[in-house]
Structure 1
Amino acid sequence: MSLPTEKPVVLVVDDEVRGLETLVRTLADEFEVKTARNAAEARAVLEREWVQVVLCDQRMPETSGVEFLRQVREQWPEAVRMIISGYTDSEEIIDAVNEAGIYHYVTKPWHPENLILLLRNACRMFELQRQNEALSVELKTSPGHLESALSEKRESLRERFLHDDGIVRTDASKMNAVCEKVKRVSPYDIPVLLTGESGTGKELAARALHYNSLRWERPFVVENCGALPDELLESELFGYKRGAFTGAVEDRIGLFERANGGTVFLDEIGELSPAFQVKLLRVLQEGEVRPLGSGRTRMVDVRVIAATNKELEGEVRAGRFREDLFYRLAAVNITLPPLRERPDDIEVLAEALLAKAMERLGKRVKGFTAEAIACMKAYHWAGNVRELKNEIQHMLVMGDDDWLGADLLSPRVLQALPTEVPAAPLPLDLMDGTLKERVEEFEARILRETLIRHRWNKSRAAKELGLSRVGLRGKLERYGLERVEPTGTAH
């Protein structure tokens, strides 16, 4: 059997060539797709490949899809089994589905996005099963060692958040007020609502709240409420009983029960549907959950921290979010400022993110040039810290020198005119000034962006812009554009 590839491996079994080709086209971007036109070919693939998911058509020559998947369950039980069919007319199929331990029954015509989502979840289930098996073995062979390692990891996390909240910032940062509020609120067992744009560090703040609380020794679990439809979200949070729905082949404990005694972080809470808002409100009010397919409720003791990039009070006024649920979630509201409002933090953040990227990617550099830092400070970072992280990873991968220069930055970042660089005294707000001033501002931005890309090689920049070297030099003098020396702070 070959080793796993970077993409999850999905085996598609269908005797119809056209249907097989359609499925391959739909799935090829995200999955390593293996194909088979009958059960014999499929078995041959399973014997030589590391397959995470088997997606099989119900109607096949010689045997049915359900019968084949029953055989797969016996020989390759770790593979997640799914069936696809246009026939949903008999209870026998449903019974057979349960006997074969099939994860999901996909009906024709299927929707590409829904099918991809189902396969993503199936691959995630496969990975969780593997982790569970490994954990079970380790628990049996060395329970004392595992418990000690887990305890050490929790202590390490707690120490990190006790000393600096895990949030990188300067002494004069706007984040200081946020971190002070987090520390003040953490010990009190009340729900907290974290608000702010995407990428501002809401999950990091949630972890700081947890590890500074009295629940720090108990689990901290995370769920993105905007990533799943209601049915899957309900099963993830509240769990389910075997047979609750097609593919529920065993009992599953929900995240609320797993986090019992600890903290549940519900990200993107503003994306909840009205129907699910009612279900969540009941859990928060009663302190109990009811798994899907169960007639009994189970008591849970968790602290809920929620986060959203929406203005929830406005959503309440518009009737899209329940007012009673809002007040259940927002005993305390903490708003995280966007990165553009804390430019002084960008340098220390960039250096911290670079250190992590070097460790993860195994590539070392000395740091950033002053010019690169100046450009990063001038840009408004619509994606906040997450966008900054991606930009730094890109610079590290593409860089060839000891120092990461501004020429490695994306064009959108370079178009910002750093205030740290001596430049013409032009207004930055495009809505102000005369036409001549606005045109000059655009010209200055274009000149500087071009020079940075060519590492201040004036001959190449002049050639690209259709200028003579004398003409370019005159414009640089006119706008006061000068290069910042490429020095920086080593790590």
Structure 2
Amino acid sequence: MNDDIRTVLVVDDEAGHRLMVRAVLEDAGWNVLEAGSGEAALQVLSRQPGGLPHVALVDMRMPGMDGLTLLRELHARRPGLPVVLLTAFGSVGTAVEAMKHGAFDYLTKPADNEELKAVLDKSYEYRRLLDENDRLRRRAGGEGPVLVGAGAGMNRVRELIDQAGPSEASVLILGESGTGKELVAEGLHRASARAARPLIKVNCAALPENLLESELFGYVKGAFTGAIKDKPGRFQLAAGGTLFLDEIGEMPAALQAKLLRALQEKVVEPLGGVKAVETDVRVVAATNRDLAAEIKAGRFREDLYYRLAVLEIAIPPLRDRVEDLPLLVSHLLGKLGRKNNKEIRSVAPAFLDALSHYHWPGNVRELENVLERALILSRSDVLGPELLPPQILGPQPEQAQGPAAPAAPASLEEAEREALVRALGAHGGHREKTADALGISRRTLQYKLKRFGLTRR
């Protein structure tokens, strides 16, 4: 995708309106292609290379082929092309129905210039993220999971994997639960000279101390009741490869000392054995704990920390990289669709809006669960906000006003109008801040302002 020249296809039978839109968008740096009908739009499309246009702006009502029919044709010929619809104010219901068939968003005519540019910028960014997702899949080459994200935080993580992977240094991966620490460990292993050898994983929090010790270092026949034969530990099983110690902050103090010796001297002593066994492994560890605080509290050895943390890779939580949400959603829905034998073609903008305003305590793991729930419950191939659980949707704007709000007026419409007036006043008429405060998208706010005659306030 050429990020230097953004191209939009404007389809409208009104030549004057096309001229006005062209002037606004060219001033904002867009390359504008024009068509006066659906049929002409398809002819223009046939003359463009596969990646163009990046976005289409389509009038709903046109002679001959209408906007909804053109939407289907565009998606058939350019899968993934974001289509923004232009509709008369009284036909919003039709546009909403079109969004269920895959339209990216809609604007009412005449569209506010700033809102027009904002929606097209958003649709272009969505298209860019889809293309980035495809690039990441190709780069993965079917070799395993990839870290999804195009923001600065995840780009830095990938850069550190590329730098640290080929080395023999121990790496400590830091991040909250559900951020993808295991994926980073897999990336480090694949980037190393040990990639052809095993990657052995151990969750230090999942086993009691006695079992964890035998799992790590193995045991000899007769070491304890039931030990009827020698069993190699994970250090031996990972010979020549990588040993991933997940949740290392949960390791008991006694085992920390034995692990430190294994790292320093490159030998392990199986339980009940009298002879040390040499090891050749690279250790990658991960934790969601603050190890500096654990060291200060005497629960984690400082010397072990410095052995493990030759290099640290910190994974940002999902709430700090919401710009990656469209890319993550696309990637996860593809994976979940294959798992559940159900294809989801797109998600409604309101669905993404709700996801972007949630704080995601469970990070990407929680996002995957939410998406799988929505996919299973959906009766179409487009996911809408009604499929999200209550904790994602949050309180309705009327509920968000709190006990200090004045007594409710006679009708629900009057209450909603007064809530909008109060919110606008509280934020000096700034629409973006007002929309954020009410927990709704800017498009929804614009629709409500027009509905209640508040656009000139």
Specify the TM-score bucket, using the shorter chain as the normaliser.
Answer: 0.5 to 0.7
Aligned to 2:303: 324
Equivalent position to 1:167, from 136, 144, 147: 147
SS at match of 2:249: helix
Distance of 2:414 and 2:138 partners within structure 1: 60
| Partner deviation per Cα, 1:179-213 (whole Å, 9 max, x = no partner) | 11111111110100011111111110111111001
Aligned to 2:401: 440
TM (normalized to structure 1)? 0.55
The one-letter amino acid paired with 2:261 is R
* Shift in Å, 1:410: 1.3
SS at match of 2:351: helix
Q: Compared with structure 1, are the counterparts of its residues 372 and 165 closer, same or farther at alpha carbon in structure 2 (3 Å cutoff)?
A: same
Answer yes or no: is the 8 Å Cα contact 2:202–2:245 preserved in 1: yes
Aligned to 1:255: 234
* Shift in Å, 1:243: 2.4
* Shift in Å, 1:250: 2.6
Aligned residues: 290
Distance of 2:224 and 2:359 partners within structure 1: 47
Equivalent position to 1:474, from 417, 424, 444: 417
Q: Compared with structure 1, are the counterparts of its residues 386 and 475 closer, same or farther at alpha carbon in structure 2 (3 Å cutoff)?
A: farther
| Partner deviation per Cα, 1:417-460 (whole Å, 9 max, x = no partner) | 9xxxxx99xxxxxxxxxxxxx9627999xxxxxxxxxxxxxxxx
* Shift in Å, 1:476: 6.4
1:414 aligns with 2:393: yes
Aligned to 1:8: none
Percent pairwise identity: 44
Superposed, which structure 2 residues align to 1:346-357 within 5 Å? Answer: 346-357=325-336
SS at match of 2:305: helix
Distance of 1:280 and 1:237 partners within structure 2: 9
Q: Compared with structure 1, are the counterparts of its residues 344 and 397 closer, same or farther at alpha carbon in structure 2 (3 Å cutoff)?
A: same
Q: Compared with structure 1, are the counterparts of its residues 316 and 372 closer, same or farther at alpha carbon in structure 2 (3 Å cutoff)?
A: same
SS at match of 2:200: strand
SS at match of 1:305: strand
| Partner deviation per Cα, 1:127-178 (whole Å, 9 max, x = no partner) | xxxxxxxxxxxxxxxxxxxxxxxxxxxxxx99628999811112x3321112
Superposed, which structure 2 residues align to 1:384-395 within 5 Å? Answer: 384-395=363-374
Superposed, which structure 2 residues align to 1:30-179 within 5 Å? Answer: 160=140, 166-170=146-150, 172-179=151-158
Q: Compared with structure 1, are the counterparts of its residues 296 and 443 closer, same or farther at alpha carbon in structure 2 (3 Å cutoff)?
A: farther
Distance of 1:443 and 1:388 partners within structure 2: 34
Q: Compared with structure 1, are the counterparts of its residues 209 and 439 closer, same or farther at alpha carbon in structure 2 (3 Å cutoff)?
A: closer
Q: Compared with structure 1, are the counterparts of its residues 307 and 342 closer, same or farther at alpha carbon in structure 2 (3 Å cutoff)?
A: same
Aligned to 2:173: 194
1:287 aligns with 2:266: yes
Distance of 2:282 and 2:380 partners within structure 1: 48
* Shift in Å, 1:470: 3.0
Answer yes or no: is the 8 Å Cα contact 1:378–1:416 preserved in 2: no
Answer yes or no: is the 8 Å Cα contact 1:158–1:212 preserved in 2: no
Q: Compared with structure 1, are the counterparts of its residues 249 and 197 closer, same or farther at alpha carbon in structure 2 (3 Å cutoff)?
A: same
Aligned to 2:223: 244
Equivalent position to 1:367, from 346, 349, 356: 346
Answer yes or no: is the 8 Å Cα contact 1:161–1:211 preserved in 2: no
Distance of 2:416 and 2:320 partners within structure 1: 35
Q: Compared with structure 1, are the counterparts of its residues 234 and 342 closer, same or farther at alpha carbon in structure 2 (3 Å cutoff)?
A: same
| Partner deviation per Cα, 1:11-68 (whole Å, 9 max, x = no partner) | xxxxxxxxxxxxxxxxxxxxxxxxxxxxxxxxxxxxxxxxxxxxxxxxxxxxxxxxxx
Distance of 1:247 and 1:443 partners within structure 2: 68
1:337 aligns with 2:298: no
Answer yes or no: is the 8 Å Cα contact 1:375–1:416 preserved in 2: no
Tell me the C-alpha RMSD between the 2 structures.
Answer: 3.0
1:185 aligns with 2:164: yes
Answer yes or no: is the 8 Å Cα contact 1:197–1:309 preserved in 2: yes
Q: Compared with structure 1, are the counterparts of its residues 224 and 473 closer, same or farther at alpha carbon in structure 2 (3 Å cutoff)?
A: same
Distance of 2:389 and 2:342 partners within structure 1: 20
Q: Compared with structure 1, are the counterparts of its residues 466 and 284 closer, same or farther at alpha carbon in structure 2 (3 Å cutoff)?
A: farther
* Shift in Å, 1:466: 11
Distance of 2:301 and 2:222 partners within structure 1: 32
Aligned to 1:139: none
Aligned to 2:281: 302
Structure 1, unmatched stretches of 5+, are 1-156, 418-422, 425-437, 445-464, 486-491
* Shift in Å, 1:334: 1.2
Distance of 1:158 and 1:307 partners within structure 2: 27
Aligned to 1:84: none
* Shift in Å, 1:296: 1.5
* Shift in Å, 1:468: 4.0
Answer yes or no: is the 8 Å Cα contact 1:216–1:262 preserved in 2: yes
Answer yes or no: is the 8 Å Cα contact 2:157–2:313 preserved in 1: yes
| Partner deviation per Cα, 1:364-412 (whole Å, 9 max, x = no partner) | 2222111001110111101111111111111111122221111111111
Answer yes or no: is the 8 Å Cα contact 1:270–1:312 preserved in 2: yes
The one-letter amino acid paired with 1:217 is A
Superposed, which structure 2 residues align to 1:185-224 within 5 Å? Answer: 185-224=164-203
SS at match of 1:307: strand
TM (normalized to structure 2)? 0.58
SS at match of 2:201: strand
Distance of 1:323 and 1:161 partners within structure 2: 40
Answer yes or no: is the 8 Å Cα contact 1:178–1:334 preserved in 2: yes
Aligned to 1:267: 246
Distance of 1:305 and 1:226 partners within structure 2: 16
Q: Compared with structure 1, are the counterparts of its residues 254 and 472 closer, same or farther at alpha carbon in structure 2 (3 Å cutoff)?
A: same
Aligned to 1:124: none
The one-letter amino acid paired with 1:186 is G
SS at match of 2:285: strand
Q: Compared with structure 1, are the counterparts of its residues 407 and 286 closer, same or farther at alpha carbon in structure 2 (3 Å cutoff)?
A: same
Q: Compared with structure 1, are the counterparts of its residues 366 and 167 closer, same or farther at alpha carbon in structure 2 (3 Å cutoff)?
A: same
Structure 2, unmatched stretches of 5+, are 1-136, 424-434, 445-457
Distance of 1:201 and 1:439 partners within structure 2: 34
